[in-house]
Amino acid sequence: MKKFLIKLIIFMLPLLIVAYPLDCMISYYLGETNAYLGEFEVWSDIYNSNANCDIAVYGSSRCWVHINPTILSDSLKSKVYNFGIDGHNFWLQYLRHLEFIKHNNKPKTIILSLDIFTLQKIDYLYQLNQFIPYMLWNSNIKKYTSSYVGYNYFDYYIPIVRYSGKINLLKIIIKSIFTNQYSDPLRNNGFAGMEKKWNNDLETAMLNKDSYYVKLDSSSILLFDRFIKECKKNNIELIFVYTPEFIEGQKFVSNRDEVIKIFEKVSSEYSIDFYNYSNDTICFNKKYFYNANHLNKTGAEIFSKDFANKIKSRRHKNYK
């Protein structure tokens, strides 16, 4: 048995020696692209310590297409970065938070963009390829992604294994190098305004079902509470915001009031400012949205200016 293990090590060692630098090279070039809606751009800024900011903005896709850090920066005279992660609830928003504060300075303020999906956890790892360049031997990524259907044990620990069969990723790298197709930045400090017109997503959903029910995830709720306590302990100001949703989309969610009440209760319990735009006039005007959940670029600019002014006014009152 001992001889077998020695022979196995002798056989595997050269493969690992070759596999690791190859893994590093592929991961580097992939991380330099704007693929997966710019998620690589944000992760790379985090791991390269280029995401230092006074105000960090967390949330889902509604966060990174709604909250314009340039507008907030100009109004609040602070450096702002938007860390919104596409298609994920608080579980992986918290992962991004951990990696951010591990590789960058602690922010003074965190704005948490809430929505009906914040405390609902899906089973599969949406856009799982966004984690590939950074997950080798990364304990935080393993801890917070392994509960999803996506990667196996060996993907986290053995170089190049997780790239097996992913020809599409190699195509992205090649196109980025030789055609610049994936090389131009998509996001600006994590934000990207969407110049889109209204689509039929809501109408299609309403044809398929009468309403949507949010299934709250107990583990996400516990993590949400833990995060708040950590912010309090580390003297990080926390702000809640529920960005605009088109009114007909709000009505489609059968237990939306239940979800909102949870956020209101938490904000009251921990004395956190909560800016709820559910009844704002922008929610009643379809021209500012490209679907029920997402503002277009014009809508995002209008909202961001109003939100920045509200924060500025509140701080001015508190200063007095």
Checking 254-257 for CB contacts under 8 A at 24+ apart, the result is 254/211, 254/212, 254/213, 255/213, 255/214, 256/116, 256/214
The per-residue pLDDT for 131 is 97
Q: Any bridge partners for residue 188, and if so which?
A: 191
Instruction: Please tell me the distance from the alpha carbon of residue 57 to that of residue 190, in angstroms, as a whole number.
Output: 9
The per-residue pLDDT for 15 is 59
Query: Would you write out the chain's pLDDT as a tens digit for each of its 320 residues?
Result: 666 555 545 545 555 667 899 999 999 999 999 999 999 999 999 999 999 999 999 999 999 999 999 999 999 999 999 999 999 999 999 999 999 999 999 999 999 999 999 999 999 999 999 999 999 999 999 999 999 999 999 999 999 999 999 999 989 988 888 887 887 899 999 999 999 999 988 888 888 888 999 999 999 999 999 999 999 999 999 999 999 999 999 999 999 999 999 999 999 999 999 999 999 999 999 999 999 999 999 999 999 999 999 999 998 776 55
Residue of 207, 194, 210 lying closest to 66 (CA atoms) = 194
The per-residue pLDDT for 4 is 53
The per-residue pLDDT for 8 is 47
Sheet holding 273-276, edge to edge: 80-82, 55-58, 109-113, 237-242, 273-276
Burial label for 25, CB within 10 Å (0-12, 13-18, 19+), is: exposed
The per-residue pLDDT for 206 is 85
Q: Determine contact, residues 30/169, Cβ cutoff 8 Å.
A: yes
Checking 167-170 for CB contacts under 8 A at 24+ apart, the result is 169/26, 169/30, 169/129, 169/132, 170/26
Residue of 139, 152, 155, 145 lying closest to 121 (CA atoms) = 145
**Three-state SS at 55:** strand
The per-residue pLDDT for 166 is 92
Q: Determine contact, residues 140/98, Cβ cutoff 8 Å.
A: yes
Alpha helices in 104-217 (DSSP H): 139-145, 153-157, 167-178, 201-208
Main-chain phi, psi angles of 126, to 5 degrees: -60, 135
Instruction: Please tell me the distance from the alpha carbon of residue 275 to that of residue 187, in angstroms, as a whole number.
Output: 25
The per-residue pLDDT for 318 is 67
Main-chain phi, psi angles of 289, to 5 degrees: -125, 155
Could you tell me the two tokens for 14?
Answer: 């050269």
Instruction: Please tell me the distance from the alpha carbon of residue 202 to that of residue 199, in angstroms, as a whole number.
Output: 8
